[in-house]
């Protein structure tokens, strides 16, 4: 009995100790904004396999056209443009047209179309799997599965039951022969001077079914198709050598702030893939076949051997303030401007309910706080802090009467109240357009406020993370309510802005600088919350977005980029809208003649990271000299002039200062204080 009481006393003591000792709190679920009831979003169940519907789905991906409307608009899966329609898959190796205003691929004509001979042509494809670098399309009624892996010179089809598989073309078949009688390799020549190689995993017959059709009789196994990129026998030999190894998927791994790795899942021996020019610039070590290349709108695609790549961009400084600092003798002028800009905050009325323009309003005020810190003007901080609290909190706690954030369960992401019924509201935010643009501005403001008011930052941290993870969710383990990296393309290494809208030219993006702002702001949020992973991820994507902008949006004189032909390069210093299969000199909201706007939309907002985006002063000079004549046009606003002058200040500081001092109006995300800070920190 005494022993029993002793044991009971011990248990009671332990329980009392546990009750009085602080225990680790259970992990809290990520914050969710109220559920949206959208009437404009498409139904994802039409094209995604049922097992994929329980998780958030991509809304700005490289294969987005495959899951919208009829799913029959093409997508560019390098090096081929691929279209799925009527239970068949068509692909074309594109040619390109160049003018002084547009670079584009030729209208889609199927070089080859693959389908089951006895299919009723009424079914459609199903996305059964997808990853950063790949998508798998199944045709259940046809026994066909296509592994579409980006950068593969082969298109791979798995026929999983004995099926008669037909090959047709929009051209005429000149000849179709078995190579050396092997019956596992066939050479198909078309009347457009193309030669296609067809490889099968087991011997079969390829029979002629007419001038534009061939058939593999009752075949099961793997069929691979590859265009001969040139007539050199060495190229054919390379394709022969690597034809037996095929990738089934590809994933990207964000290692740290300066390493991105590709991991391809393959079947077979050595894997042959293709790298675009930015890949080649960043590859740290790889076996590169320099003479094996395909053409693309993004530049030559070069052969790389290996199922694992390491891309190592040079890290850039992600700082709150200018890298070089502001000289003290310029403090008085900046402080004088700050006094006026900060005083004006108290009278600023929120005349907009647009998530985009409201975000710019918030970010503009946040810039004033950081400038005040940098020029030792602490008296400005309390007013700015109060302003930011009053403007940001209603969007985070749902009390803003004109609009607000909601959570859409169907695709997994944020929409705004205004955009749940109107596809044009908030620039298509309700269809997942421009999420990184809008939210990037809010996140910048939130990050600065969390820096100058840590207690406020902790209070609203769940909502802040819900905003940033909408487009910068590293993986579903971080936040299961959002897809992985909504807007960033880990093959192209830049963002897309198109959302759930079907476009004949695929995804698109206009403003690279606003994309840079989004990832830069996310990195700053990591700094504000001492979150090393968020800071590193934001920093890496900032770096890649900048390098992609410099590669594909910035058009240097003399064709130095070697991406654009002379006609286009001569007339343009920046691309207006970059599409998957087109480069346009015009903008969504301005013509190509508005060069000051074309420059400005690739510069705004002016931030410390802007000096990295435009680190080449020589190119900045080219761009400014190209845009300056446009300022004499009727109707040019001073807001857009400010961005031209900002870049001009990189190489003509004193002359530009006078122009900036004379400005009476500024872009709604800019200010006199910000432009003076920029010029004086050059």
Angle at 567 between CA 563 and CA 569, to 5 degrees: 45
300, 510, 611, 667: which is the annotated catalytic residue?
A: 510
- The DSSP bridge partners found for residue 406 are 415
- The DSSP bridge partners found for residue 185 are 199
Nearest to 516 by CA among 650, 619, 620, 609: 609
Tokens of 570: 């001569």
Q: What is the DSSP string of 360-398?
A: HHHHHHHHHHHHHHHTT-GGGHHHHHHHHHHHHHHHHHT
The torsion angles phi and psi of 418, rounded to 5 degrees, stand at -65, -25
Torsion of CA 168, 174, 178, 180, to 10 degrees: -160
CB 353 within 8 A of CB 659: no
Tokens of 54: 């329980």
434 is catalytic: yes
- The DSSP bridge partners found for residue 130 are 135
CA–CA gap between residue 142 and residue 137 (Å, rounded): 12
191 C-beta neighbours (distance < 10 Å), count: 12
The torsion angles phi and psi of 282, rounded to 5 degrees, stand at -105, -15
Nearest to 290 by CA among 301, 298, 306: 301
Angle at 453 between CA 452 and CA 457, to 5 degrees: 120
Chain position carrying tokens 């420059």:
599
502 is catalytic: no
514, 535, 596, 611: which is the annotated catalytic residue?
A: 514
Q: How many CA atoms lie within 13 A of 246 on its CB side?
A: 21
Q: What is the DSSP string of 507-522?
A: -EE--HHHHHHHHHHH
The three state secondary structure string of 111-158 is CEEEEECCCCCCCCCEEEEEECCEEEEEECCCCEEEEEECCCCEEEEE
Angle at 246 between CA 244 and CA 248, to 5 degrees: 155
CB 662 within 8 A of CB 357: no
CA–CA gap between residue 540 and residue 72 (Å, rounded): 34
Angle at 124 between CA 120 and CA 128, to 5 degrees: 130
333, 434, 535, 596: which is the annotated catalytic residue?
A: 434
| 506 Ramachandran zone, left/alpha/beta (phi>0; psi -120 to 50) | left
514 is catalytic: yes
Question: Rg of the chain over CA atoms, in angstroms?
Answer: 28
287-294 β-sheet, strand order: 272-275, 301-305, 287-294
CB 515 within 8 A of CB 545: yes
Tokens of 14: 């332990």
CA–CA gap between residue 71 and residue 65 (Å, rounded): 6
Instruction: Considering only the C-alpha atoms of the chain, give the largest distance between any 2 of them, rounded to a whole number of Å.
Output: 102
DSSP 8-state symbol, 632: G
Catalytically annotated residues? 434, 510, 514
């Amino acid at each position: 009995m005494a022993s029993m009481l002793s044991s009971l006393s011990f248990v009671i003591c332990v329980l009392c100790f546990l009750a009085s000792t602080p225990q680790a709190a259970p992990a809290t679920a990520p914050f969710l904004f109220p559920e949206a009831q959208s009437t404009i979003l498409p139904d994802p169940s039409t094209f995604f396999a049922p097992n994929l519907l329980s998780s958030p789905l991509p809304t700005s991906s490289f294969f987005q056209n495959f899951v919208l409307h009829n799913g029959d608009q093409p997508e560019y899966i390098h090096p081929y443009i691929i279209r799925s329609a009527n239970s068949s898959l068509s692909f074309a190796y594109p040619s390109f047209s160049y003018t002084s205003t547009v670079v584009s691929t030729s209208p889609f004509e199927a070089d080859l179309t693959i389908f089951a001979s006895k299919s009723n042509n009424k079914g459609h494809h199903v996305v059964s799997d997808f990853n950063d670098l790949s998508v798998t399309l199944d045709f259940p009624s046809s026994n066909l599965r296509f592994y579409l892996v980006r950068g593969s010179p082969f298109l791979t089809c798995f026929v999983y039951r004995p099926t008669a598989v037909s090959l047709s073309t929009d051209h005429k078949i000149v000849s179709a022969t078995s190579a050396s009688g092997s019956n596992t390799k066939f050479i198909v020549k078309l009347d457009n001077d193309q030669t296609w190689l067809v490889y099968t995993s087991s011997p079969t017959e390829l029979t002629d079914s007419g001038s534009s059709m061939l058939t593999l009789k009752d075949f099961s196994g793997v069929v691979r198709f590859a265009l001969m990129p040139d007539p050199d026998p060495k190229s054919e030999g390379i394709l022969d050598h690597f034809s037996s190894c095929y990738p089934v998927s590809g994933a990207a791994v964000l290692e740290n702030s300066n390493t991105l790795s590709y991991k391809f899942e393959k079947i077979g021996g050595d894997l042959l893939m293709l790298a675009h020019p930015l890949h080649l610039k960043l590859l740290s070590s790889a076996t590169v076949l320099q003479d094996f290349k395909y053409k693309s709108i993004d530049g030559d695609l070069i052969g790389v051997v290996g199922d694992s790549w390491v891309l190592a961009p040079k890290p850039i400084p992600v700082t709150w303030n200018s890298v070089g600092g502001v000289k003290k003798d310029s403090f008085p002028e900046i402080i004088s401007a700050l006094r006026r800009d900060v005083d004006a905050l108290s009278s600023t009325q929120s005349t907009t309910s647009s998530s985009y323009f409201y975000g710019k309003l918030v970010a503009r005020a946040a810039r004033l706080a950081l400038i005040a810190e940098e020029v030792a003007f602490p008296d400005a901080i309390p007013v700015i802090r109060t302003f930011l609290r009053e403007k940001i909190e209603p969007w985070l706690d749902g009390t803003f009467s004109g609009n607000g954030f909601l959570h859409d369960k169907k695709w997994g992401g944020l929409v705004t109240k205004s955009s749940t019924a109107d596809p044009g509201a908030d620039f298509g935010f309700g269809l997942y357009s421009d999420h990184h643009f809008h939210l990037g501005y809010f996140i910048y403001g939130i990050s600065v406020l969390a820096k100058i008011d840590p207690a406020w930052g902790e209070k609203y941290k769940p909502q802040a993370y819900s905003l940033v993870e909408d487009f910068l969710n590293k993986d579903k383990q971080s936040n299961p309510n959002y897809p992985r990296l909504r807007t960033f393309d880990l093959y192209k290494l830049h963002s897309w802005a198109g959302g759930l809208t079907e476009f004949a030219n695929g995804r698109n993006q206009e403003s690279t600088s606003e994309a840079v702002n989004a990832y830069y702001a996310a990195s700053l949020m990591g700094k504000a919350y001492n979150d090393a992973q968020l800071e590193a991820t934001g920093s890496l994507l900032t770096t890649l977005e900048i390098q992609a902008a410099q590669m594909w949006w910035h058009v240097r004189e003399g064709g130095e980029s070697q991406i654009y032909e002379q006609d286009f390069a001569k007339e343009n210093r920046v691309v207006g809208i970059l599409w998957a299969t087109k480069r346009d000199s015009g903008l969504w909201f301005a013509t190509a003649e508005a060069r000051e706007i074309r420059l400005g939309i690739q510069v705004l907002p002016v931030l410390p990271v802007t000096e990295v985006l435009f680190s080449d002063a020589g190119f900045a000079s080219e761009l400014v000299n190209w845009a300056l004549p446009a300022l004499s046009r009727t109707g040019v606003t001073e807001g857009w002039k400010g961005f031209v002058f900002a870049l001009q200040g990189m190489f003509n500081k004193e002359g530009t200062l006078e122009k900036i001092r004379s400005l009476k109006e500024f872009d709604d995300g800019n200010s006199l204080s910000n432009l003076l800070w920029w010029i004086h920190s050059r």
